[in-house]
Amino acid sequence: MKKLLKIIAPILVLVVSIGIVSALSAAKPAPEKKEDSQRLVSLYVDEVTSDEVTVSVQTQGEVRPKTEIDLVPQVSGRIVGISESFAEGAEFSPGETLIKIDDTDYKLAVIRAEARVAEAQVAVQRELANAKIKEEHWLDKRNSGQPTPYALNKPQVMEAELKLLAAEADLKEARLNIARTEINVPFMGRVRERSIGIGQYVSAGTKLGRVFSTDIVEIRLPLTDTQLAELNLPMGFMADAFNAPVVQFSAHIGNREYFWTGHIVRTHASVDQQTRLIYAIAEVEDPYGLGSDRGAPMAVGMFVHAEIAGVSSQSAMVLPRLALRNADKVYVINDKNRLEIRTVEIISTSEETVLVSAGVEVGDRVVTSSIPAAVDGMEVRAISREQQS
């Protein structure tokens, strides 16, 4: 009997428990049913504004001297003097003697040329005297007719005068050769390289070194046809005092950034066949002096970043850079809170803004937040800048 109770008791407890749970579930009120509602995507927007802007473009280039030449002597001789200014990187003044060639032989040539001039002068005087004697002799003889030029010694006088001119030319050349033993250039500049030393014998035409002018440097700036159109610059453009676009140059030297100002002076009249780009030439005056920034020159060989300002202003729609999608698309939320995908005509872009000429209007709300799957016409919720703050 006891064994039977041990078996039946748990079964009875389980049955009673199930009954209680069923009774409680039946007494619980049914949950209220709610209708499903669509959840709208919230997007941040900015309003499109308009402005009169002067477009600028970004490019870069290498600083080059406007004038750079090889130093080549016009006379031969031994190097007897080299200026301290004729060292790589050194600065020199206009007309300063950089190299001195031994002029002893040329001074002797001047003395010989002076002797030939004196000899030729005597010959001229002698032939003039002969001409006068022949003329008087002809008159004394009272010959009829006209005397020939030879009878009056005129060809001899002409020959003597021409020999005098030749002797004077030789003397001038001899003196000029003395001046050519002092090698200088007519501009202020710097030495790029030097290839001779004291005591070295050089021939006429030998390269002695290379120097460049520091009064003006040039920067060759590559531009696409789109950038050229943005700047409103034609191919073959030549600037004057009133329409030279300003260029702001910058470069990092160490941990500091330096700036220099220049102007576009011309653009090439042809497209580069290798790069398919058009090159604009900018100039910076006195880059080692007044044109430097806090003592930092715009040195030849430096690679610089350039921002070119346009010549004239134009009307443009301004919108945030975040609003631009896929190069030329923007998302606009219309008055009915529907998304419109539009194509815009871009004038210029920067890190923060986009300037466009068509595709949007002033007051349009452009989306600046990301959308995983944008569909034209989808209903969205716009959050303005005021609501963000």
Residues 316-338: pLDDT tens digits? 889 898 888 887 888 998 888 88
- Angstrom distance (rounded) from CA 261 to CA 248: 5
Instruction: Give the model confidence (pLDDT) of 114-166 as tens digits.
Output: 999 999 999 999 989 888 888 777 777 766 667 777 777 888 889 999 999 99
pLDDT over 80 at 372, yes or no: no
The pLDDT value given to residue 306? 94
- Looking at residue 91, its pLDDT comes to 94
pLDDT of residue 188 exceeding 80, the answer is yes
- Higher-confidence position of 106 and 52: 106
Percent of the chain with pLDDT over 70: 88
The type of residue at 96 is E
194 pLDDT tier (thresholds 50, 70, 90): very high
d(CA 291, CA 298): 8
Give the Cα separation of 348 and 308 in Å (integer): 12
Contact 313, 266 (CB under 8 A): no
pLDDT at res. 233: 83
Q: What integer is the mean pLDDT of 348-365? A: 85
Query: Nearest 5 degrees, angle CA 337-CA 342-CA 343?
Result: 165
Q: What are residue 388's phi and psi, to 5 degrees?
A: -65, -40
- Sequence-distant (≥ 6) Cβ neighbours of residue 54 within 8 angstroms: 309, 310, 312, 313, 314
Q: At what angle do helices 154-180 and 104-141 cross, to 10 degrees?
A: 170
Pairwise pLDDT comparison (122 vs 352), residue with the higher score? 122
Neighbours of 61 (CB within 10 A): 21
Give the per-residue pLDDT at 148.
Answer: 75
Q: Which residue, among 123, 134, 197, has the nearest Cα to 157 in the 3D structure?
A: 123
pLDDT(302) > 70: yes
Mean pLDDT of 232-256: 88
pLDDT tens digits along 30-66:
555 555 456 778 888 888 888 887 777 889 999 999 9
pLDDT given at position 147: 74
How much of the chain exceeds pLDDT 90, in percent?
48
- pLDDT given for residue 176 in this prediction: 96
Lowest mean pLDDT among 134-143, 223-232, 246-255: 134-143
> Which band of pLDDT confidence, cut at 50, 70 and 90, is reported for residue 245?
confident
Greater confidence (80 vs 239) lies with 80
Query: ∠284-269-54 over CA atoms, to 5°?
Result: 55
pLDDT, the chain, mean: 86
Residue 348 has pLDDT above 70, yes or no: yes
